[in-house]
Amino acid sequence: ELKVEQNPLFLSMQEGKNYTIYCNYSTTSDRLYWYRQDPGKSLESLFVLLSNGAVKQEGRLMASLDTKARLSTLHITAAVHDLSATYFCALDSNAGGTSYGKLTFGQGTILTVHP
Amino acid sequence: EAGVAQSPRYKIIEKRQSVAFWCNPISGHATLYWYQQILGQGPKLLIQFQNNGVVDDSQLPKDRFSAERLKGVDSTLKIQPAKLEDSAVYLCASSSQGTGANVLTFGAGSRLTVL
């Protein structure tokens, strides 16, 4: 059974600080996604990582993928309050097959940024 | 472009009653997904359609859940009879498949409370 584990599950940060969320998974895949979810809202796509060594950056967020270690990271630089949300990583377990989109999600990391 | 539309946004029913949720995907997206998100967890795939055919329904509790996608556009997810553990947000998503990133776009969700 495919497992996707995130840590930490809860993260309280001060504005201006840096931190990293880790996403470990149990099977090979070359498609990993990061989503953001605000309370009561749906999921917003942040990054898609398609190959080993892939790195993507958007504003204060940077995501990377190491398929050999089965690890993805989401790094937050100089956090601001607007980044407070729940962050999910998700692995596409059909990757390499004929159909994509069967995502297995991690438990989510609840990020709170305070002054 | 218009997003993924879902209705109703909220529904409260008694256990053993039935409920139906409707989804209209992004125009031109051939693939449609229904995910179940229980409070505090990541979403879990229930069923995936490619046009009007089922690609994966391995995690759909078929004794009580059913879904259809007539004409390859709109979809309906039905639960009958509902159980307390079906309380969750039901998220519809769509994607265009094919090569590339295949990013899923999620709707706002339908929140079900079973009493």
SS (H, E, C) B21-53: EEEECCCCCCEEEEEEECCCCCCEEEEEEECCE
Domain count, chain B: 1
Q: What is the mean pLDDT of residues B83-105?
A: 87
What pLDDT does residue A40 have?
Answer: 86
**Structural domain of B10:** 5-114
- The CATH number covering residue B103 comes to 2.60.40.10
What pLDDT does residue A100 have?
Answer: 74
Chain B residue nearest residue A33, CA to CA: B103
Q: Spell out the alpha helix ranges (H) of chain B.
A: none
Contacts of B95 in chain A (CB under 8 A): 100-101
Q: Contact B102/A101, CB-based, under 8 Å?
A: yes
Structural contact between residues A37 and B42, judged by C-beta atoms closer than 8 angstroms: no
pLDDT band at B101 (very low <50, low <70, confident <90, very high): low
What pLDDT does residue A52 have?
Answer: 84
Look at residues B40, B41, B55, B61 and name the one whose alpha carbon lies nearest to residue A90. B41
In a 3-state reduction of DSSP, which class is residue B103? coil
Residues 6+ apart with CB under 8 A from A89: A4, A6, A21, A23, A25, A32, A33, A34, A35, A72, A74, A105, A106
What pLDDT does residue B2 have?
Answer: 78
CA dist., res. B115 & res. B17, Å (int): 10
Please tell us whether the domain made up of A4-114 is placed in CATH 2.60.40.10.
yes
pLDDT by residue, tens only, chain A of 115 residues: 789 999 999 999 999 999 999 999 998 777 899 999 998 888 999 999 988 889 999 999 999 999 999 999 999 999 999 999 999 999 987 655 556 778 999 999 999 999 8
Q: Does A10 touch chain B (CB under 8 A)?
A: no
